[in-house]
Structure formats: structure tokens, C-alpha cells
Amino acid sequence: MVAVDGSVHSKKAVELAIELAKLSNAQLYFIHVLAETNAPKWFKEFAEVEQVGEADYFDIVERRLFSPLIARAKESKVQVFRCIRGRGDPADEILRNAKNKGIDLIVMGSRGLGKFSGAMLGSVSTKVLSHATCTCITVK
């Protein structure tokens, strides 16, 4: 399972996850979690320009985030098993889904789009690394 948020590190994590899935003939899950009760700032700006509402957040995520990732995986001959969209604490949602789906590897960027850009390791990746029961890889 690879956690995606559109950040540079997330994109690198996707590339590594695709390569690992290809080498091991594994199925790939993508997961994206909306951390805020309202859509994030980047989406609000996009929504204003494109004249769409916050209710359209996950539809936009599907088209602008998941669709290109699925295409990238398919071009590498990797099967995307499922795209997971969640809302809440990103680390909790990643951990919960990994456990419930029997995930054996989580790949994620070491830093995401969170507000603490000066941290050495992102708060989400730190929490996932600390609490996951499966192997985790963080990507810089």
C-alpha cells in the first residue's frame, strides 16, 4: 500500500512502490486521506478557479490524483487492487486500512503536504512507522 498526497516525496514513494510491486508480482493499493474536516487550502484555491464545491473533493482526487497513478502502474504492468479514500487522521486511517486489508508493506513519503514543513520526518510517517505491524518504507 502506498500513501499518496501529491507531494514530491509521495510521488517518489509511488515510483518505488510500483517497482517493488512489479518485482514481486504484488497488487498495489493507493490510499489518500483528507486530514481536515474541510478541504485543504490547495483544493480551495483549485475549487475557486474551477468553480467546483468542496463536496467534489474526492471526485477531484479520483481524477487528478488516482487516475494518473493507476495509468502509471498499468504502464508498468502492475495491478492496482484498490484506491482507498479516507477522512480523518491520516496515520490512523493508513494503519487501520493496512491492518484490515492484511497489507504486508506500506510505502510513503517521508514528508507530505502537512503544515510542519521544517520537521525532519513528517508527523504522519513518524506515527505510521511507530505503530505499523508490517514493514514500512519511507522515501525522500
CATH code for the structural domain at 2-139: 3.40.50.620
pTM for the full model?
Answer: 0.82
Within 13 Å of residue 12, how many CA atoms lie on the same side as its CB?
11
Closest CA to 1 of 33, 28, 24: 28
Calpha distance 32→6 (Å, rounded):
9
CA angle 87, 88, 91 (to 5 degrees): 110
pLDDT in tens, the chain (140 residues): 999 988 889 999 999 999 999 999 999 999 998 876 566 666 777 777 877 776 677 787 778 788 999 999 999 999 998 888 888 899 999 999 999 999 999 999 986 655 434 334 568 899 999 999 999 999 98
